[in-house]
Structure 1
Amino acid sequence: MPRLTLAEQVAADARDKTLAQLVRQASDWDRQVVAQAVLIWMRDHNTVSANDLRDQLPEVAGGVLPGVLRGMSHNYLIHTGDFVPSTAPATKGHRIAVYRRRTTADRKAAA
């Protein structure tokens, strides 16, 4: 993955703090609804991004979707290294991460 410029790193840090705050403020119910939606999506698809599920979730749950995806990347998902433009109007098309299922080989490589 290419190195981020200082400005990109500052923006990424701010984004990560905002996502973490949204996830902390969300109810357990919303976090579980989002996680369940991700798991259901992954039964039939090789990859997932916030674009794939945003319109399928209640507005409150959709707000925590990126943070839940990022949290699930610690054990169930893995970032593919790919990004796609966000389809959410408020984001003005900024790049969002694409994830795939973590495999046994990924776990062995990380050990």
Structure 2
Amino acid sequence: MEPLERIGKATVDVLAALLDGDRPRWGLEIIKLTGRPSGSVYPLLDRLERAGWVTSTWDDDADRRGPRRRMYVLTPEGAREAVKVCSARAGGHRAGDRNRGTATARRAQVSR
């Protein structure tokens, strides 16, 4: 696994969104969950994928209308690193963020 050179708040938000669920998420869903713009989220997802933290596939749901969705999921190693990152960063955020990050990390540890 390639280490990430920098992990900012936007990266933590994206990792938390990926941790906070038991299924793959698509890019627009991550954008809505994080409140981050697409110009931040998609490059982060690409960087996380190149680092081996995330894998992606195209959704082939023929019954759904609209363009195909690119689905993103943490790799097992990426999930472990994401829990570490989110837990470490939770201490430096506002109380609401800290509680959300800790709960997310706990759910990820329990579900994995």
Same fold (TM over 0.5): no
Structure with the higher helix share, 1 or 2: 1
Structure with the higher strand share, 1 or 2: 1
TM-score category, normalised to shorter length:
0.3 to 0.5
TM-score, structure 1 normalization: 0.44
- Looking at both structures, which has the greater relative contact order when contacts are Cα pairs under 8 Å and sequence separation is at least 6? 2
